[in-house]
Amino acid sequence: MSLTNNKIKEKLVEKFGESVFGFEENYELLTFEAPKEINLKVLQFLYDDEELNFQFMTDLCAAHYPDNIGKELAVVYHLHNLKDNIRLRFKVYTSIQKPDVYTATQLFSAANWMERETYDFYGVNFVGHPNLKRILNVDEMDYFPLRKEYPLEDQTRLDKDDEMFGRGGTIV
């Protein structure tokens, strides 16, 4: 375990200066942010550097913060270094009006489907993705369901006539 969170932080700051910020350690997991314009550069550096070697993408997802004006959508990467067995979390924020983020498919094949899923639920437009279409929802859907403006259906509503699901309708 030669690689530590501090070492990663030092290397990142050395390379990108003040462009990478917001370093914190959440339960031993190093977390940091960068502007969305350089997300690929940061990922490429993490991937290529001989010591860092973050070549395994564990997860990619998004989160929606409606109150965070101008930075409503967060794209979260969870990366893993299999050699030194260390992980980190990397975030970029984007506005909801222009949710363009560069795709990571050239670095990680896993990003292909994960980015499609993120697009499906949050509408993040991954620029350069080879096949950016919905993956879990129907293709005809015209909204992004995991955004916060879409609340879940009220479980107690009575006006809906779907007897097959045991709600509403006339039960004889």
- Residues of the shown chain interacting with other proteins in the complex, contacts defined by CB under 8 A: 26-27, 29, 31, 55-59, 61, 63-64, 76, 78, 82, 85, 89, 108-110, 112-114, 117, 121, 134-140, 145-146, 152
DSSP 97: S
**Nearer to other proteins (CB atom), residue 38 or residue 76:** 76
Minimum gap (Å) between residue 47 Cβ and other proteins:
10
- Three-state SS at 133: coil
Minimum gap (Å) between residue 158 Cβ and other proteins:
19
**Nearer to other proteins (CB atom), residue 82 or residue 127:** 82
Minimum gap (Å) between residue 129 Cβ and other proteins:
14
| CA dist., res. 134 & res. 117, Å (int) | 7
Contact 31, 24 (CB under 8 A): yes
Minimum gap (Å) between residue 57 Cβ and other proteins:
5
| CA dist., res. 21 & res. 139, Å (int) | 37
**Nearer to other proteins (CB atom), residue 18 or residue 140:** 140
| CA dist., res. 101 & res. 128, Å (int) | 9
| CA dist., res. 80 & res. 78, Å (int) | 7
